[in-house]
């Protein structure tokens, strides 16, 4: 804990890795590209997962579990899908001591196996819609892994739905995206831009891909969630059809949508600072930590007595922890809990006991507040709400400060390396998008639903553009 994190300004990438490791969120596993999510990181993920799970269920979806092993031939049934995913697959060729007749891939995503099963379950329009979600581990071979952001194995949820017609499927795709927006902004305190992906960035096999894009503190974009309108592509590949009310046989319409442990990385890079992690109260494993300060045994008894009282009063409403470890000094504990991003610290020393107050210190700006001891517990939920809101406001202000309209390509090329989101006109062609990427490593993050209104001329080709798009370098 004595160790300090590399300052953001010095090397953002090292700052990120330092924070993830020192806060004990995760570390590299022996197999390249895999990670171990440590208890503190997993508690954070559990809080995220449980909140999102409630939202998924509240919108009428049920959880299920589909097998991880997918026959190689399944992947090949949808042409775009196999092209996109086959190069990233891990392949099981042997099992039970024998070579397999057909190779099995570790799911990179589960469209194929799931729609194969739906085809068995759906006969009539009465069996639709199917609204299922699963929480699972998935595998995509990674050449340049980074903890949480790009790992060979990651944890995620994937919603998979089947509908009677295009309208319903489109509505579902947007419902999922809006749920992600609400989750990102309301729970993770992370502002996002919602919109549609360009053809180049679309999910392999989808008709349209919608996404939420967040800005990290180095100005780069991070795709935080996607929702795919799959049309009838998979339904046709897996013969997922149904007899409609009019007696006709029709193919179903599918959607799929997912977010992953990548969001842990997004939270780190949205809120963190040079002292380490800063966690939004709604997902923090410990929302409040009490650090007692004492020298003598007498002082210790008085301080712990008061701390115990606050623990008891607050324990039902907030996730609070008393750090009564004797082997560490208060200053050491302050630094540790700051690195771990605990939103609010309560300091209690002998003088505080005497005066009948305690000291609240917010992690986000170290602002201190003296609070009468008897009111401390009752005040905590309010202070945590304020912190949650302040984190969102601060992240939103940061993003808006680093986002601007731009019309000149030369200027864009000069500035894009410094990070930030650029709202620019684009002629809508794959060629222009490829040129931008080639010239600058930046990509079209999305065609936003808001913020981009109004026609104009493509900053690269001068051709007609329907609206501005968001361009940035991305994770």
Are 260 and 35 in contact by the 8 Å Cβ rule? The answer is: no
Q: Does 126 bind a copy of itself (CB under 8 A)?
A: yes
Sheet holding 288-292, edge to edge: 320-322, 288-292, 344-348, 357-362, 368-372
Are 206 and 83 in contact by the 8 Å Cβ rule? The answer is: no
Q: Does 104 bind a copy of itself (CB under 8 A)?
A: yes
Q: Does 224 bind a copy of itself (CB under 8 A)?
A: no
Of 112-120, 184-192, 297-305, 353-361, which segment contacts a copy of itself by CB under 8 A? 112-120
Could you tell me how many residues of this chain bind a copy of itself (CB under 8 A)?
Answer: 54
Cα 383 to Cα 413: distance, rounded to the nearest angstrom: 43
C-beta of 261: minimal distance to a copy of itself in Å? 9
Angle of helix 297-314 relative to helix 373-401, nearest 10 degrees, comes to 70
Angle of helix 166-186 relative to helix 39-58, nearest 10 degrees, comes to 140
Give the three-class secondary structure for 208: strand
Q: How far is CA 213 from CA 177, 224, 254, 269, in A?
A: 11, 6, 23, 13
- By beta-carbon proximity to a copy of itself, the closer residue of 89 and 214 is 89
Q: Does 289 bind a copy of itself (CB under 8 A)?
A: no
Cα 420 to Cα 414: distance, rounded to the nearest angstrom: 12
Q: Does 58 bind a copy of itself (CB under 8 A)?
A: no
Of 133-141, 198-206, 331-339, 412-420, which segment contacts a copy of itself by CB under 8 A? 133-141
- Residue from 60, 87, 356, 462 binding a copy of itself (CB under 8 A): 87
Q: Does 31 bind a copy of itself (CB under 8 A)?
A: yes
Nearby residues of 330 by Cβ (< 8 Å), 6 or more positions away: 291, 292, 293, 347
Of 111-119, 176-184, 386-394, 407-415, which segment contacts a copy of itself by CB under 8 A? 111-119
Q: Does 124 bind a copy of itself (CB under 8 A)?
A: no
- Residue from 7, 22, 38, 451 binding a copy of itself (CB under 8 A): 38
- Residue from 23, 152, 436, 471 binding a copy of itself (CB under 8 A): 152
Cα 344 to Cα 361: distance, rounded to the nearest angstrom: 6
- Residue from 74, 180, 337, 412 binding a copy of itself (CB under 8 A): 74
- Residue from 3, 9, 58, 97 binding a copy of itself (CB under 8 A): 97
- Residue from 22, 34, 55, 403 binding a copy of itself (CB under 8 A): 34
- By beta-carbon proximity to a copy of itself, the closer residue of 39 and 417 is 39
Of 138-146, 213-221, 350-358, 370-378, which segment contacts a copy of itself by CB under 8 A? 138-146
- By beta-carbon proximity to a copy of itself, the closer residue of 152 and 416 is 152
Helix (H) or strand (E) holding 336: helix 330-339
Q: How far is CA 10 from CA 16, 28, 378, in A?
A: 11, 23, 41
Q: How far is CA 230 from CA 67, 88, 252, 275, 302, in A?
A: 21, 21, 10, 43, 64
- By beta-carbon proximity to a copy of itself, the closer residue of 139 and 426 is 139
Q: Does 435 bind a copy of itself (CB under 8 A)?
A: no
Question: What is the β-pairing status of strands 456-457 and 464-465?
Answer: antiparallel
Q: Does 332 bind a copy of itself (CB under 8 A)?
A: no
Give the three-class secondary structure for 159: strand
Helix (H) or strand (E) holding 443: strand 443-448
Are 314 and 79 in contact by the 8 Å Cβ rule? The answer is: no
- By beta-carbon proximity to a copy of itself, the closer residue of 67 and 372 is 67
- By beta-carbon proximity to a copy of itself, the closer residue of 126 and 389 is 126
Residues that bind a copy of itself (CB under 8 A): 29-31, 34-39, 41-43, 45-46, 62-71, 74, 86-97, 103-104, 106, 113, 116-117, 126, 132, 136-137, 139, 141, 143, 152-153, 155, 327
């Amino acid at each position: 804990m004595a160790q300090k994190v590399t300052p953001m300004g010095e090397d953002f990438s090292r700052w990120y890795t330092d924070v993830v490791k020192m806060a004990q969120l995760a570390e590299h596993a022996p197999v390249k590209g895999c990670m171990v999510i440590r208890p503190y990181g997993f508690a954070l993920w559990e809080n995220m997962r449980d909140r999102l799970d409630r939202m998924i269920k509240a919108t009428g979806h049920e959880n299920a579990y589909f097998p991880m092993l997918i026959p190689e031939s399944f992947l090949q049934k949808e042409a775009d899908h196999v092209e996109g995913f086959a190069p990233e697959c891990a392949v099981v060729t042997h099992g039970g001591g024998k070579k397999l007749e057909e190779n099995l891939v570790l799911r990179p995503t589960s469209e194929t196996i799931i729609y194969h099963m739906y085809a068995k379950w759906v006969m009539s329009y009465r069996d639709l819609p199917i609204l299922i979600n699963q929480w699972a581990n998935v595998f995509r071979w990674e050449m340049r892994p980074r903890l949480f952001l790009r790992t060979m194995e990651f944890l995620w949820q994937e919603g998979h739905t089947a509908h009677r017609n295009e309208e319903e499927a489109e509505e579902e795709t947007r419902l999922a995206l809006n749920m992600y927006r609400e989750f990102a902004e309301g729970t993770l305190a992370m502002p996002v831009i919602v919109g549609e992906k360009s053809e180049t960035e679309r999910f392999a096999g989808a008709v349209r891909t919608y996404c939420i894009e967040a800005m990290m503190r180095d100005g780069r974009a991070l795709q935080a969630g996607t929702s795919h309108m799959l049309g009838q592509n998979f339904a046709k590949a897996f013969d997922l059809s149904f007899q409609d009310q009019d007696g006709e046989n029709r193919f179903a319409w599918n959607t799929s949508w997912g977010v992953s442990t990548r969001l842990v990385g997004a939270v780190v890079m949205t809120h963190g600072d040079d002292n380490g992690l800063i966690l939004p109260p709604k997902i923090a494993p410990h929302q409040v930590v009490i650090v007692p300060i004492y020298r003598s045994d007498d002082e210790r008894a008085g301080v712990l007595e008061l701390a115990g009282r606050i623990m008891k009063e607050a324990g039902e409403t907030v996730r609070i922890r008393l750090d009564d470890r004797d082997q560490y000094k208060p200053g050491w504990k302050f630094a540790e809990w700051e690195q771990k991003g605990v939103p609010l610290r309560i300091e209690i020393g002998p003088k505080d006991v005497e005066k009948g107050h305690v000291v609240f210190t917010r992690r986000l700006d170290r602002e201190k507040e003296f609070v009468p001891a008897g009111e401390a517990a009752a005040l905590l939920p309010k202070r945590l709400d304020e912190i949650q809101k302040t984190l969102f406001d601060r992240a939103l202000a940061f993003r808006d400060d680093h986002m601007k309209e731009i019309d000149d390509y030369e200027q864009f090329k000069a500035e894009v390396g410094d990070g930030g989101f650029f709202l620019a006109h684009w002629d809508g062609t794959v060629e222009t998008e490829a040129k931008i990427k080639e010239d600058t490593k930046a990509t079209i993050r999305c065609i936003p639903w808001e913020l981009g209104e109004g026609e104009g001329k493509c900053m690269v080709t001068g051709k007609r553009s329907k609206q501005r798009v968001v361009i940035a370098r991305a994770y």
